[in-house]
Amino acid sequence: MTDWTDSRTFSNALERAVTLEKGNCFEDFSDGQTIEHAPGLTLSAHANELWMSQTLNHDPAYWRSDAAQAVGYDDCPVHPDYLLACVMGPSVEDLSEKGGYFLGRDAVSLHDPAVAPGTEVRVESTVEAKRESSSRPDYGIVTWETAGFDAKTGDRLLSYTRTNMIPRREPMAADGGSASPGESRPSAETDGSGLPSEFVAPDGPYFEDFRDAHERTANRDAAVAYRHERGRTMDDVMVATLPLVTLNTAKQHHNDDYMADSPSGEIVAYGDVTRSVALGHARSDERTYREIEYGDERFHDFVTVGDTVYGFTRVLDIEETDDPEAGTVTFEHYAFNQCDEPVYSGTRTALIQKRT
């Protein structure tokens, strides 16, 4: 039985695994294309006040109902800066996560100046223009109009245009970038680790993609195993605040004095935060329909402030269901740090949405 969490074995697996990349390249956009951004936000009074307080926006109309009513509002609306950020944020994964210079934003329009906390926001973008970059051949330039809508009424709340440089796919591939999803790494020479000789990645996030990848490994010394591109560096909020907001008062997460003489020498992350980061990375590369169960969870090393947590996934089993919307996939997920050392592992079974 191969121990995938052995440090040397796991490092060998990481070297051979395809990384499922996030974001779109210049070639993925076309003039007039409309993109519905899957995530959205329910505007929160708490998050609004946090935004205003941390950015020193202290206009009383956004803090006190009497001041709001004095300028014609029924009650305190969300601040327009917070609303703009909540419309911009959900668009990033589809539009600009690949990187490239932010060249500007224009025509920011508040269609409703009195958006209330609790409003559910839906966001969509339309490609207004795309062109080559004369100065950066590895990039193209794309302009989008992005709009945020009240998800319940369909009313337009805020819109703007923005322009970004976006990496081109072909130069990235020519420069030896990561293999595309679905491409298998070359078989490794025998290293004594017991790892399969071939790793396969799914071609997309749907149940059929996982099923097809799993079928490609049948009767072969192969596994469906892949890396997730994102990482999350642990900060004070992740390590100390998140446990406390769940009423986890363990001193290990917020008392530096107590932890000074411990094996870690400092406060450590709550294991469930580390686990959630790893599963979050995995879910970003799949169309999760519903969670079913978790098992065999282990925590292999400390995670502290400044550590970066990445994710790695194996597909263990695929099961067709009578549900026309989804099929069952069993995964084994791993969190690992910036030194490629596993810090968490566990199994998870979920219904994954079908394409058709």
Q: Give the pLDDT score at 179.
A: 45
pLDDT digits (tens, 9 = 90+) for 249-266: 788 898 999 899 888 999
77-81, 117-121, 150-154: which has the minimum mean pLDDT?
77-81
Contacts of 156 (CB under 8 A, 6+ apart): 111, 112, 147, 148, 149
102-106, 187-191, 234-238, 328-332: which has the minimum mean pLDDT?
187-191
Which residues are registered as beta bridge partners of 110? Answer: 158
Question: How large is the average pLDDT for residues 227-250?
Answer: 87
65-79, 164-178, 272-286, 319-333: which has the minimum mean pLDDT?
164-178
185 band by pLDDT with thresholds 50, 70 and 90 = low
Does 182 or 119 have the greater pLDDT score? 119
Question: How large is the average pLDDT for residues 109-123?
Answer: 94
For residue 87, is pLDDT > 70?
yes
Q: Give the pLDDT score at 263.
A: 87
Q: Which residue type does 66 have? A: D
The domain ranges of the chain are 7-21+178-353, 26-171
Q: Give the pLDDT score at 158.
A: 93
What is the phi-psi region of residue 220: left when phi exceeds 0, alpha when psi lies from -120 to 50, beta otherwise? Answer: beta
| Average pLDDT value over all residues in the chain | 89
Q: Give the pLDDT score at 193.
A: 72
7-21+178-353: CATH topology: Thiol Ester Dehydrase; Chain A (3.10.129)
At residue 246, φ and ψ (nearest 5 deg) are -100, 10
Please give the radius of gyration of the chain, using alpha carbons only, rounded to the nearest integer.
23
192 band by pLDDT with thresholds 50, 70 and 90 = low
Please tell me the CATH superfamily of domain 26-171, with its number.
Answer: Hotdog Thioesterase (3.10.129.10)
55 band by pLDDT with thresholds 50, 70 and 90 = confident
- Please name the helix (run of DSSP H) or strand (run of DSSP E) that holds residue 57, with its range, or none: none
Tell me, yes or no, if the two domains 7-21+178-353 and 26-171 fold the same way.
Answer: yes
pTM of this prediction?
Answer: 0.76
Contacts of 59 (CB under 8 A, 6+ apart): 79
Question: How large is the average pLDDT for residues 101-120?
Answer: 91
Distance CA(203)–CA(210), nearest Å, equals: 8
Question: How large is the average pLDDT for residues 52-65?
Answer: 85
186 band by pLDDT with thresholds 50, 70 and 90 = low
Alpha-carbon torsion (256, 258, 264, 270), positive or negative: negative
DSSP state of 237: I
Q: Cα angle vertex 328, ends 326, 330, to 5°?
A: 145
